[in-house]
Amino acid sequence: MASVILSHVEKIYDNGFHAVHDFTLEVQDGEFMVFVGPSGCGKSTTMRMIAGLESISSGTIQIGDRIVNRIPPKDRNVAMVFQDYALYPHMTVRENMSLSLKLRKVPKQEIEKRVLHAAKVLDIDHVLDRKPKELSGGQRQRVAVGRAIVRTPDVFMFDEPLSNLDPKLRTTMRVELKKLHLTLKTTMIYVTHDQLEAMTLADRIVVMNQGRIQQVGTPLEVYSKPANKFVAGFIGTPPMNFFSCEVIRENGTVHLKSDGFDFHVNRDHPLYQKLQERGISASSGWTLGIRPEHMELARGKAGENQIQAIVEVMEPMAPEVFVHLTSESGEFVLRDDGLLKPVIRPGQKVKVNVDMDNIHLFDEEGIAL
């Protein structure tokens, strides 16, 4: 087991493409860290640099107490599980799992012991003599993990290991991986573009975009306190709703205003205090962010902090319903508990309440206030 520390790591590919910028991160010993971000954001490049499969252009990478910049992959004691599993088709499961130990000249008896132990942990001990083509997708995935486990590495690295599985199996394997981490307690670094996978697996998440870290935090932190508009929009399904607005602070109240709404934030609200600290009394170019679960259909008369809208479609996601609406301030989605009181239908005019305790405000650069 070991910590992994990246300091100011940069990657510029031979063609001049700057794939990773100033990546600084400490993955603690035994932590499950997930790198998440859209395709091409540099997740795999970063992971491959840690494994030593890709050179680094500058900065340092430390695994345990060793700087590994110049240490070849085979001597870094990290094990990687790839998306396509990379199993040898002509070898049995047992042979696939034994191979790396054989190459390291581990005694035969010890190999047999470790393979059997890993196979039991992963529930593949009954398929040890089969070839990969005789296995289900989930079993193949387990063999790939098993092959990594037998090496007792300091760090496990997973590059989108579940993306070839069907959705149901993905969910099952996700739980299996989480259990495995609890059993082995080894440091794990896991790459995915699936934010749900990141949220459910991680102790901490690194959200990346365009080769840069956007935020590092626990799943709850990145969800409830996104550092910027990118993180706010990337984490959460359906995504956070964004509305352009202006900010006017007067007589102890902040107005968040657009054509379609005028929300009031009073003096004891954290946003009021932050705007006051920054000396902002009137300015435009802001983005208000509200998650779909922090809006609800209003009953009865018009009240404060509401937005008028027209129901477009309802998307049943039992037991919930996602209601898509349009308003003068743009389209948005709210998440209803499925009881839909009052009952609504497409085309209907409705009023929507906003939970002012859970709003987010982003400045012109997209940075959260």
Task: Please report, as ranges, the residues that interact with ligand ATP according to CB under 6 A.
Answer: 13, 15, 17, 19, 37, 39-45, 193
Counts for the chain of helices (H) and strands (E), in that order: 9, 20
Separation between Cα atoms, residue 106 and residue 185, nearest integer Å = 23
Separation between Cα atoms, residue 83 and residue 160, nearest integer Å = 5
Minimum CB distance to ligand ATP smaller for 55 or for 266: 55
Minimum CB distance to ligand ATP smaller for 19 or for 350: 19
Q: How far is the CB of 12 from ligand ATP (least distance, A)?
A: 9
CA distances (Å), 247 to each of 242, 277, 286, 355, in order?
15, 14, 7, 18
Strand order in the sheet with 32-36: 78-81, 155-159, 187-192, 32-36, 204-209, 212-217
Separation between Cα atoms, residue 310 and residue 325, nearest integer Å = 5
Helices 108-121 and 137-149: crossing angle in degrees, nearest 10, is 130
Among residues 210, 132, 157, the alpha carbon closest in space to that of 34 is found at 157
Q: How far is the CB of 47 from ligand ATP (least distance, A)?
A: 8
Minimum CB distance to ligand ATP smaller for 80 or for 121: 80
Q: How far is the CB of 46 from ligand ATP (least distance, A)?
A: 7
Minimum CB distance to ligand ATP smaller for 11 or for 151: 11
Minimum CB distance to ligand ATP smaller for 191 or for 247: 191
Q: How far is the CB of 14 from ligand ATP (least distance, A)?
A: 6
Q: How far is the CB of 44 from ligand ATP (least distance, A)?
A: 3
DSSP state of 29: T
**58-5-181-185 Cα dihedral, nearest 10 degrees:** 140
Minimum CB distance to ligand ATP smaller for 212 or for 255: 212
Q: Is 24 helix (H, G, I), strand (E, B) or coil?
A: strand
Q: How far is the CB of 174 from ligand ATP (least distance, A)?
A: 18
For residue 208 the two structure tokens come to 């990346």
CA distances (Å), 232 to each of 17, 195, 207, 235, in order?
27, 12, 10, 6
Minimum CB distance to ligand ATP smaller for 96 or for 209: 209
Minimum CB distance to ligand ATP smaller for 209 or for 329: 209
Separation between Cα atoms, residue 63 and residue 134, nearest integer Å = 37
Separation between Cα atoms, residue 193 and residue 354, nearest integer Å = 30
Task: Mention every residue, 6+ apart, whose C-beta is less than 8 A from residue 236.
Answer: 195, 223, 291
Q: How far is the CB of 24 from ligand ATP (least distance, A)?
A: 17
Strand order in the sheet with 253-257: 262-266, 253-257, 241-250, 282-290, 359-362
Q: How far is the CB of 20 from ligand ATP (least distance, A)?
A: 7
Q: How far is the CB of 50 from ligand ATP (least distance, A)?
A: 12
Minimum CB distance to ligand ATP smaller for 193 or for 229: 193
